[in-house]
Structure 1
């Protein structure tokens, strides 16, 4: 194995995830929409600032996965869900998920 191949093998694989856009409103607040998708709002942690200075929020899912949200300038909320079997890849992956997940669209 040459140095370049060794360097590449040090990177963790990107975790698999699902992404959707939520549109909270008075009749269906964000926490209600999250709970309907198996996300536990009471586990909310506010993460570091992402892109435009908005803080990403991290949650646990009922099955042990991870969910992250980020509100965009229009008020829509981008939701990314990482399944439980991908949680370790998520924790080790670089760059951190919030940045590349939002950019990946």
Structure 2
């Protein structure tokens, strides 16, 4: 994992993004937030499982599905299976070493 800080590479409305093998943060102070960095590391593992492009295609399709379901951007984002897994385990620093493959499917 490579950690970068750049407000120009992170899409508007987000604090950070994981694009294998990089975690890109909007603000340097976020690098000190272990739970936030762990959240992004979980996304890196998800991308390894699916492949980078399929991950983002699935992410986008699921976001649109959840948006139609909830009619609210924040609710749609927080209910994407990838995000549900990452939020559920971001403070668990022993999760990734013991995580089984395709675990995000339990959050569909």
- What is the TM-score normalised by the length of structure 1? 0.34
Higher helix residue share:
2
For CA contacts below 8 A with separation 6 or more, give which structure has more relative contact order.
1
Larger radius of gyration: 1
Higher strand residue share:
1
